[in-house]
Structure 1
C-alpha cells in the first residue's frame, strides 16, 4: 500500500504511539487527523505540529464515535485510512466479582467496541473510494498471551476476521502488535509495580509505516515476536513468567 498522499484518522493521537504515528505519517507526506479526549492536550500538539487536524472525541462513547465519523467524512471526503490506536489498561480481579469492571473508563468500550464500531462506520465509505484504503488496528504482543490484554487479543481476532471478509475489496486490514512501549499507558502500568522497560513509540510508528509499505498485514514489533512464538511452544511457562514479572 502507498504510504504517502493518504488522509488518515488516528484515534488516541495526542500522545504515545498515536502521536508518534501522526508525526511519521506527516513526514511521509500524508494528511493526518487525530482525535483525543482532552482539548488542552490536542491544542499542545497543534502547536508542535500545526499541519495536524484535531478533534475532541471520547471513542468509548457511541454517540461521539458517530459524530467523529460524520465530521471526518464531511471535512475530509477523501479519507482513506483509519488507525484504531486509542486504548487504556485496567487490571480487573474477577475473584472479587470485578466491581472495578465498569468503574471509571471501560476498557472493553475503548479498546474493543470502539475499534469494531469505527471500522463498521468507515468501511462503507472506504469501499466507495477509488484508491486503496486501510484499517490499522494497534494491538499488543500480549494479545498472543492475553494475561492482561484480553481486549487486545479480541482485537487481534477481529482483525483476522475482517481481513478475510475484505480480501476482495480495496480495503486492507493491518495489525500492528508492539511489545511494551514507553508511553503514558506504560507509566500507569509501571505504577502498578511493573518494571522499567519498553521501546520508544517512534519505533512502533516506523514499524507501522514499513508494514503498510510492504503489505505486511500482521506486523509484530520487536520482542513481541518472541511472545507469539512462545505462546505456541510453551504457553504455560510464559504465563508463569509473566505473572512473576507483574508481581514485581
Structure 2
C-alpha cells in the first residue's frame, strides 16, 4: 500500500485504535479525516491535533453516512483511503433473556452495518481514485471470546465480507485490506487482564506492526497474537476455544450487561 500523499477517512477515529492510525497517517504527510459520534471528543481531538479534520458522524445512522459522503465528495474529492474502524462491544449472557430485543442488534448495526453502509457510500470515490479500503476486524474473527459473543460474530462477518469484496473489486484498481488486531490496550479492553494466554499490546505497537505489513503490500494483516489465534484455529481449535472460555468466563454478566 502506498502510505504517503493520500487522503484518508477513518471512522471511529476520535480515540483508541482509530486515533492511533489517524496520527500515523498524518505523521506520514497524508490528509486525514476522522469521524466519531461525540462532538465534544472530536473537539478535544481537533484542539490537540489541529492537522486532523474532524466530522461528527455515526456509522449506525444511514442519513448521517449519506451526509458525510456528500460533504467528503465536496470538500475532499481526492479521498482515496477509507478505514472502516468504528466498533462497539457488549458483554452478553446468552442464557439470560432480555425485554429489549432491539438492543441485541446494536453491535450488528455498528460493527457490520456500519462497514456495509460506509463501503457502499464511498465505493464510487474509491473506484474513481483507484483507492484503498481497509477494514479493521479482529483476531477474534477466527476464535470467539465467549463473553463477547455477538462482537466476535460481527468480526467473523467482516472477515468473510472483506474476502468477498476483494474478489469483486479485483479488476477495479481498488485495494482491499483487512487488519485483524489482537487484544489492544484501549477503553474497550479495560476489563481484560493479561495472563492465561492473553497478551495486550499498546496502540503504538499495533500501528508499528500494521504499518510494517502495509509497506510490504500485505492484504490480510495479523499483528501480534492474532497470528497465533489464526494458527491455533487450524491446528488445535478445541484447545484455543476452551482456553478463551476459561479466560473470559468471569466476564459474562449474571444478567444482561453491556459496555462499549
Aligned 8 A contact 1:14 1:36 in 2: yes
Please state whether the residue corresponding to 1:33 is helix, strand or coil: strand
Distance 1:152 1:181 in 2: 15
Residue in 1 aligned with 2:178? 175
Aligned 8 A contact 2:139 2:180 in 1: yes
Distance 1:101 1:8 in 2: 36
Residue in 2 aligned with 1:214? 216
Instruction: Compute the TM-score of the two structures, normalised by the length of structure 2.
Output: 0.88
- After superposition, residues 3-42 of structure 1 pair within 5 angstroms as 3-42=3-42
CA deviations over 1:22-54 (Å, ceiling 9, x no partner): 110011110000000111111111111101100
Aligned 8 A contact 1:123 1:171 in 2: no
Q: Of 213, 227, 233, which residue of structure 1 is paired with 2:229? A: 227
CA deviations over 1:223-243 (Å, ceiling 9, x no partner): 111100101111111111101
Residue in 1 aligned with 2:253? none
Tell me, yes or no, if structure 1 residue 146 matches structure 2 residue 149.
Answer: no
Aligned 8 A contact 2:209 2:224 in 1: no
Aligned 8 A contact 1:126 1:171 in 2: yes
Distance 1:98 1:167 in 2: 43
Distance 2:38 2:65 in 1: 15
Q: Shift of residue 104 of structure 1? A: 8.7
Task: Extract unaligned runs of 5+ from structure 1.
Answer: none
Q: Shift of residue 98 of structure 1? A: 5.0
C-alpha RMSD of the superposition: 1.6
Aligned residues: 241
CA deviations over 1:121-144 (Å, ceiling 9, x no partner): 111222112xx4111011111110
Please state whether the residue corresponding to 1:181 is helix, strand or coil: coil
Tell me, yes or no, if structure 1 residue 61 matches structure 2 residue 64.
Answer: no
Aligned 8 A contact 2:144 2:244 in 1: no
